[in-house]
Amino acid sequence: MSQENLEVVKRAIAALNDHDVESYLAYCAADVQMETPVTPIEGVYKGADGVRRYFADVLEHFPDFRVTIERLERVGADRVLGFLRLNMSGRASGITLGGDIPSANIWDFTDGKIKRVRIFFDRREALEAVGLSQQDAHTDS
């Protein structure tokens, strides 16, 4: 199942890059949960409505939001670790935040669907969350 999970992540990210949240949700379990760097403040985004709200907020503030996959790794049968780069600029300011914002996501799967997404701006935190060291993952950030 793990190879299929990598393909699901690739297709889900492609849907996000098309700003097609409904297609993204087709790859998610009904009770999907999304944890972001602001989860301690905003809480966990739960279910399709939570994911829609999260991406509506992102696209409202960053209409040119794009994700580039740097590398995806299987971590067990039902988990994928992804090293990503984010591109975005602010709607109001027009200030480009860059195309080289490193991030990492962890996707947990159930029955071939994304069950939980954890988004990290600190890649070391993502590695720790899956029980890997920086050397294990061969990453430089």
- Does 113 fall in a domain? yes
Buried residues in 65-74 as b, exposed as e (16+ CB within 10 A): bebebeebbe
Buried residues in 75-94 as b, exposed as e (16+ CB within 10 A): beebbbbbbbebbbbeeeee
- Does 100 fall in a domain? yes
Residue 139 has what pLDDT? 46
Strand-pairing partners, residue 79, are 108
Residue 120 has what pLDDT? 96
Q: Please report, rounded to a whole number, the percentage of residues in the chain having pLDDT higher than 70.
A: 87
- Does 109 fall in a domain? yes
- How many helices (DSSP H) and strands (DSSP E) are in the chain? 6, 6
The number of domains in the chain is 1
Cβ proximity of 73 and 137 under 8 Å: yes
pLDDT band at 39 (very low <50, low <70, confident <90, very high): confident
- Does 141 fall in a domain? no
Report the CATH number at residue 117: 3.10.450.50
pTM of the model as a whole: 0.87
- Does 137 fall in a domain? no
Residues of the domain holding 83: 2-130
Residue 71 Rama label (left phi>0; alpha psi -120 to 50; beta): beta
Mean pLDDT for 64-68 is 92
